[in-house]
Each structure stands twice: as structure tokens, then as C-alpha cells.
Structure 1
Amino acid sequence: MSSGTVAAPPVSGTGAATRGPVAGLALLGVMAGAQGADPNVASTALVGAGRGLGMSGDLLALAASISTLVLSATVISTGLLADRLGRRGVLMAALVLAAVGDLLVAGAPASPLYLLGRALAGIGFGAVFGAAFAYIRAITPPDRIAGAMGVFGAVSGGTALVLTFLGGALASVHWRLAFVVLPVVALLCVPAVRALLPAQEPRPDGPTDYPGQVLLALGVVGVLYGFSHAASGLTSPATLGPLLGGFALLAAFAWRERASGAGEDRRFFPVELFRRPVFLAAVCAGFVYNFGTAVGFLQLTNLWQYVTGLSTLSVSLWQLPFLVSGIAAAVVVGRAMTRGLAAAAVVGIGTLTSAVGFVLLAVLHSSTSLWGFLPGSILLGGGVIIASLPYGTLIISQADARYFGPVTSARTTIGQFYYAAGLALSTVLIDRLTTGGVVRRLTEAGVPPTQTGQGLDAVTAFAAAGTQPDTALGQPALGAATGSYASGFVVTMLVCAVLALVVGGAGWLLLRRSAQAPPASR
């Protein structure tokens, strides 16, 4: 099978592609950045929303995750819808839907409307990102897609950064104000899409396979829901049940799609892509990007809060090198790929850079200043973004016209799997190491086993709400947790460095072998 670029969906003569492909590419990056900022803004405003609407416990957890669950479950189907109805119209409708969803959240008098609004925003922003990513090939010459991917990543990263900070600042005034930012951006993008992006001819005669879409959506929700409960234990029924059920549904989806491909093709997604070396290499690069981002960003934030003792504002400032280095890396490496830097080399560079960043963060984790974290933050932040460039370009190269929307939108679903897995694995690993370390240190200090639970409760209260312990046992327990958390952080960073090397190395090897193999006949 050749790994070259395959035919793109036809573009009609209407629209304004000729008015400025650079402006169109920047617009795509802005819309993708809005999608990236949406969960960040919602997370920042969630504490205030929970208090204001009386949400707690499982309801608060659902409010935190419903948008991501719905987005991941529907993004491939909305990609299919863009193929069937025309991508530009679906993109504009998705922008309006996302705006309506978050405005509904901003005005929600009770939690049900809040949940409905976040679900609608998830569907809308998922479709926005999928359509924006797919549009890259429509407005970019085939030999410049890698560079366009770099600009797309840089603009989307910068936009997400600005909107996240703006939403966070407004959330500090009132949580409802935070949910007005993205609707304004989304509605401003609607006329810009009409002016700058070309219309794409719809393909109304293709298969839809509604049962297959339902299997895929339910499977995705099950897996992500299971990952979201991993903190309660990997063997907990709340974790294991949804995970097993989700994977079983995904297996049924894969079987159905393969069976539908025999004879008259009635499937809506070509599952045999996962047997192509180039597509598998893209999936490996996606692991380095999404898994690495989840682990690095979350655990660095936790370390700085719980161990280094930074304020929320200081944490935000310390996060900047991680984010800004990725923006710079996207532009520089994207241009290098346009000039001929091979995808295999980029996957290797991104993998090695990310792994070194993990190791440096482990080695220098005890620093009390930003300078100590700077090398690891810059390398990890830049490395994961470098890996994201071939992740996107290779998926685009494997998406033919018949399945263009679903395949390009699959990038988002695959990314959500890896991101959720990164959050779950790192959280469980550090939690278990920290808990074990606290128990061991309290036992060594002479605390009887019957009282160690009180110490752990004090640590949990501090982690959840910042409540300082006021008991004789809680104070030493928190001190033990600080040192134990730091040790758990080191182990987690090293484990993730090894995982990045193994998976990213597999992607590099697949691309090297694919480049050396003679082209398959068509």
C-alpha cells in the first residue's frame, strides 16, 4: 500500500479560497484553538458552577466530563455528516451549536440545563475541530501540508492559551462570565468561514451504517467513562465494567465494519486502516503527543501546587514555557517538513525530545524555582507538539475521498483515548505511590495501623479542597505526603519516558520500513 497522499474531496468553485489561503489557515487554527480552550475554561469555572448550582459528588464529576464524552462519541459521525452535507455548512452550523451550548450553560438556572449545554457544546466543538482539521487539505497544496500543519498547530495553541487565560480571569469574577468568551469567538467565526473557506461538494450517496455509528459511540463513551473513574482503582467496578463493556462494543464495531466491507461496501469507516504501517505510525505519534501532554501538564501542575506550594497565578505563569515551546516547535518543524524533513525523522525527534523532557523533570523535580523546571518543560512541551505534526499529516495522507470526514475526525477520538489514558495511568500511579509512602512513613514514625486512615483522610482533604490539617496526626501525614508525592512524580515521569520511547520508537520504525519498501501496485 502506498503511503502517498490520496485524493481529497472535491472543492467547488464557490467560496473564497483564492482570497488568501494563509488567512484561511489562520482561521482554521483559531477555531481549533477555541475547541482546545473550551474544556480548560469549563474546568476553571467548574468550582464556581458547582457551588452556584448545588452540584457535588457524581453530578459534579459528570459535569466535568460530559462535554468530552459527547465530543469523543460524536466527532467521527459529525465528520461523516460533513462529507454528506458539505463541510462548510456543517462547520458553520457546528459553530452556532457550540455557541448555543455554552450560552445555555452561562444562563443555566439548574444543573440539568448546565449538563445539556455542555453536551451541546461538546458536539459542536468536536465537529468544529474535525471540520477545521479536514479543511487543511482543501486549502493547502499537497506539498505544503506539513508546513500548514505547523501553522495550524501554532495558531491553535496560541489561541487556546489566550482564550484559556481570558476565561480563567472572567471565572474569577463570576463563573457564568467564563462561558461567554467562546460563544463570542464561535459566532465571529461564522461569517469568516463563509468569506475565507471554499465550499466542498457533498457526497450524499455514501453509506451511513447507523448501527455501526451507535456501536462506536457507545464503545467510546464506555472506555472514556471507565478511564475517568480510574482514580477509584483499576479493578473497581466503576472502572473495569465500563472499560470492558466499551472495548467489547468497539470490537463489535470493528467486526461489523470489516464484514460490511466484503462485497458491496456499506461501512462508514475503513477499519483496515489500522493494518497500514503509515496509519499505525500516525497512531503511535498520537500517543506521544496526547499521552505526553496529559501526563506532563497535569502532573507538573499538581507538583507545583502540592509540593512546591505555588499559588494558582504562579502555576499559570510556570506553565507558559511548556505551552510556548510547543507553539514555536510547531512553526519551525512544520517548515522543515515542508522543505523535506521526513515524517520518520520528525517522529523520532519528537519522541526523543519528549523522553528527555520527562527524565529532566524527574531529575530536577525538587527545584524551588522555575529555572530548575525550565529545561524539562521546554523539551517536553516542544517534543509532544513535534510528534503531533506527523500525527496529523499522516492521517490526512491516508484519508481518501470516500471516508475523508470519518478518518480525519478519528484523529480527535484517538487523541481523547490517549489523553484519558495518560490522565488515568499517571493519577493512579502517583496516588498509589503517594499513599503507600505516607503509610510507610507514618508506620516508621510509630503511628499504629489503626490510625493511619485518619492521616490519609487529612491528606485527601488537603488535595481536594486545600484544607490544612489541624490534628496532631494530620500534620505529619501531610508532610509525609509531600515527600511521597515527589517520589511518585519521579517514578511516573521515568515510566512515561520509557513508554514514549517504546511507542514512538515503534512509529519511527514503521515509517522507516514503509519508506524502504517498494510501492505497492494499485
Structure 2
Amino acid sequence: MTIPLRPTTSDVAPIAAAPVRGALASLSLALLLSSLGTSIANVGLPVLAQAFSASFQQVQWVVIAYLLAMTALIVSAGRLGDLIGRRRLLMAGILLFTAASALCGLAPALWVLIAARMLQGLGAAVMMALAIAMVGEAVPEERTGRAMGLLGTMSAIGTALGPSLGGVLIALAGWRAIFLVTVPLGLIAFLLARHCLRDGERSSPASRQRFDLAGTLLLALVLVAYALAMTIGRGSFGMLQVGLLAAAATGTGAFLLAEARVKSPLFRPVMLRDPVLAPSLAINLCVATVMMTTLVVGPFYLSRGLGLDTAMTGAVMSIGPLISTVSGVLAGRIVDRLGAGNMVMAGLAAMAAGALALCALPGLAGYIAGIAVLTPGYQLFQAANNTMVMTGVAAGQRGVISGMLGLSRNLGLITGASVMGAIFAAALGGADAAAAAPDAIAAGMRLTFAVAAGLIIAAIAIAGVARFAGARRADAAGEM
């Protein structure tokens, strides 16, 4: 059985004469907002605990609720966009995110804030899934790489900007400002989407299919179980976490069996046999895990291991986002010029070198050198991988494939924060990272990034095997 990942001529609609810059601005802002929502609330947890007279375990659900909703529904959001129209659903997602942001900022009680954050996460799932899916309708195919590079830059900026922007807003205007600041940005994104994005995204076959509600619910339960196992223990694993992981594994099997039998599934398991898609999802997860490791371990190493004060730590941590801002669009241009497949390998090679540098090179200069190699490698990989996966995807599959890319990234971020954080904590011998000796912090840093380098090397191996298998298939097809 074949899968319609790549289009026939009738699937591909011509690029409309909509303003490309306005379309890209709309998609970029949507991705920026969804990423900003992931990181901006973390810095406000102590203030929220005080404002609502709540424990840390209670206020952490402000972060977890957003992450759970976005992760659990991102694939379903992409699929629904394929069925009812991506422009229409993206506009609805932006409005939902904006309204939920306003509700967060006006919340009179903690439970209202948590519920609003879940709605905000649902809007973010729609924006994250459909922003990448709509690149094919916003720009010509030969400019896909630079568009993906721009979106990658905006995603990185949103994730990295959250803590610093949140801290400034809380100091100036209180905790409500960290949510209200996204309201005007959301309205701008909506207006840009309304005026600059084009209609007619659906392919005819997809428009006649029904939405797989049962599959959506089952997949959501699986992803919620995994995300809870990775987040509520904060790096420690007990019987609850083991039970949640077992439930996630069992649910995954049940989901794949159910999807193989449904007439109009959320996605067909046979899609994972695609020689481009499955390896790209696995590699994307590994890469996101490593990038989250820099955000989890880096602050402890700089402050406790190297003895930098808070201002200097923040300045050094900003180097990565600054490099991302400069290198994202450039990476996209390189992908357009030299080809996505080659640049996936080049980006992974640079990331491996950066992770090894963070593991082996001591001191502040070694840390900066590692980040200076790792970050542009990540941007190059992300632009190339997204381009390779999304180029030529059939019109009726763009949303769900983009959602799967977003899901693999989110799962990688969750895994990096929990598993890699646990590895770092284990390397400290049970000591509290906030009070551990500098030598212990440095040893934990080396071990954690040795594991990170191993993950990237494994990703390179996956990419190499996939390219070899793809070449053999092409040769076999040519001989027939």
C-alpha cells in the first residue's frame, strides 16, 4: 500500500499572488507567539505562587497545562487544517490564543489561569502545526529553505526571549503583563493572516474525509501520559512515572492498531514507512533533546561552575539566541542553494562538534565556542530537515505532516528537560545543583554533553542509513 505523501499534478495549487512578505510575517509571528508562550511563564512561577497563595506544585500547572495541550493536540490540529482549510483554522487558532492570553492576564483565580493556559496551548498547537504547513502556499518552492530558516529563527527567538522578557515585564507591571503582552501581537498576526494568506489549501480528496475524533482522543491520552511522566517528577522517577510511561506505551500500540483499521484515520501508520518522514522525525526528536539540554544545564554551569553573576550569566545565555537570529535566514539560503539532504548532514555534523566542544573545552571560552558551533548547526539542520520533509508533500497531507514535525520537536524538548536534567543531577551524586561544588557542576556538564554528543552521532547514523536506503530504492526504481 502506498501513501499519498508526495503529490500528483492535480494536488498542487499554483502560488497565489498574495504578498509573500506579509504571508511570511503572519506565519513567523504565529510561530513566535506559540514559542513565547512555552517559555515566558516559567520565570513568573514564584510570583504566581505568592499572588495566589499556592504551592509550587500547584503553580507549575500553569506551565504544564500549556505544554500538555500543545503537545497532545498538535498532530490533530494539523490534520483538521487539511480537512477544513489551513488558513481558516490558523486564523481561528490565532484568535483562540489571543483571547486565552487576555483571559490569563485577567484571571481572578489560579484554576482560571490554568484553564486559560490550556486554551492558549490549544491555540499554540494550531499555530505551530499550520505555520510550517502553509509555507508551501506562501512562497515558491525554490524559496522554501529560506522561509523555513526564517520560521526557525522566530521559533528560537520566542523560546529564548521568554525568560528575559518575562522578567522585565514582571518587574515593571506585574505577572499579568507576561500574558497580556501577547494580545496585541496576536491581533496583528490575525490581521496579517486574514489579508495576506490565501484560500484554497485543501485537496479535493481530503475535503471529503471525516475527522478521526476517536484517534485524536486516543493519541491525546498517550501524549498526555508521556508528558506527565516526564514533567511531574521533575527529573525523578517513581512508580507513578513508570505507570504513566507504561500507559503511554500501551496506548501507542492501541492507537497504531486503531488507525490501521479506520477508514479516515488521523494518520496512517504506513506513512512511517516513508524513507524521508520517519528518519526525520526521529532525528528531530534527538536534536530538540540536545537543544533543551543547553537551556537546562547551561545556567547552572555558568553560575555555579564558573562563578558568573546573574547579569553575566544572562548575557552569556543570550549568545545562542543572538546567533540564531543571524544564522536562521542564512541557513535557509544555504539549503536552497546546496540542497536539503546535504545540509541535514552538515547541520548535524556541526551540532556534534558543538556538543563535543561543550563536553571537552573548559571554562567560559570553551562554553562560548561550543554554543557558537552548536547553534548555527541547529539552525542549518532545522531549515534543511523541515524543507526536506515538507517539499512536495501532497496538499491534503501538509497539515498532519507539519503537526508530526512539531510533535517530535515538543517530545524532544520534554525529554531534554527531564531525562537530560536527570543525567546532570545524577552526575552530581545526589547533591543539589544550586549548592553543588564547581568541580561537581563541571563534571556534570561534561557527562551530560557527552550523552548529548552521542545522541547527535546517533542522529547522523540514522540520517546516513536513510540516505543509503533511499539511494538504493532510487537505483532499483531506475532498473525497473
Match of 1:401 among 395, 402, 405: 395
Q: Give how far 1:36 is off.
A: 1.0
Match in the other structure for 2:341: 344
Match in the other structure for 2:219: 216
CA deviation string 1:146-203 (max 9, x = no partner) = 2221222234434555566433310223111111111220111111111111013555
TM normalised by structure 2 equals: 0.91
1:114 aligns with 2:70: no
Q: 1:226 to 1:178 in 2, by over 3 A?
A: same
1:253 maps to a residue whose letter is: F
**Sequence identity, in percent?**
21
1:374 aligns with 2:368: yes
1:181 aligns with 2:181: yes
Q: 1:19 to 1:215 in 2, by over 3 A?
A: closer
Match of 1:504 among 448, 460, 463: 460
Count of residue correspondences: 473
1:333 aligns with 2:331: yes
Query: In 2, Cα distance between the equivalents of 1:322 and 1:505?
Result: 26
Match in the other structure for 2:248: 246
1:514 aligns with 2:470: yes
Query: In 1, Cα distance between the equivalents of 2:469 and 2:328?
Result: 25
2:26 maps to a residue whose letter is: L
Q: 1:305 to 1:178 in 2, by over 3 A?
A: same
Query: In 2, Cα distance between the equivalents of 1:175 and 1:311?
Result: 24
Match in the other structure for 1:269: 267
Contact 1:307–1:486 (8 Å) recurs in 2: yes
Match in the other structure for 2:169: 170
Q: 1:505 to 1:343 in 2, by over 3 A?
A: farther
Contact 1:284–1:507 (8 Å) recurs in 2: no
**Which gives a bigger RCO, structure 1 or 2 (Cα 8 Å, sep 6+)?**
2
Aligned pairs for 1:82-481 (under 5 A) are 82-158=81-157, 161=160, 165-173=164-172, 174-202=174-202, 203-231=206-234, 233-234=236-237, 236-260=238-262, 265-339=263-337, 341-365=338-362, 367=363, 369=364, 371-397=365-391, 399-436=393-430, 459=432, 463=434, 478=435, 481=437
Q: How large is the RMSD of aligned CA atoms in angstroms?
A: 2.7
Q: 1:8 to 1:385 in 2, by over 3 A?
A: farther
Q: Give how far 1:343 is off.
A: 2.8
Contact 1:279–1:395 (8 Å) recurs in 2: yes
Contact 2:148–2:387 (8 Å) recurs in 1: yes
Query: In 1, Cα distance between the equivalents of 2:396 and 2:256?
Result: 18
1:211 maps to a residue whose letter is: A
Contact 1:171–1:177 (8 Å) recurs in 2: yes
Query: In 2, Cα distance between the equivalents of 1:377 and 1:148?
Result: 24
In structure 2, list runs of 5 or more residues that go unmatched: none
Query: In 2, Cα distance between the equivalents of 1:226 and 1:59?
Result: 17
TM normalised by structure 1 equals: 0.84
In structure 1, list runs of 5 or more residues that go unmatched: 439-458, 464-477
Q: Give how far 1:410 is off.
A: 1.3
Query: In 2, Cα distance between the equivalents of 1:399 and 1:389?
Result: 16
2:282 maps to a residue whose letter is: C
Query: In 2, Cα distance between the equivalents of 1:248 and 1:211?
Result: 16
1:401 maps to a residue whose letter is: A
Q: 1:497 to 1:9 in 2, by over 3 A?
A: farther
Match in the other structure for 1:452: none
Query: In 2, Cα distance between the equivalents of 1:232 and 1:83?
Result: 37
Query: In 1, Cα distance between the equivalents of 2:408 and 2:302?
Result: 29
CA deviation string 1:29-74 (max 9, x = no partner) = 1221111111211112222112211221432232221101111111
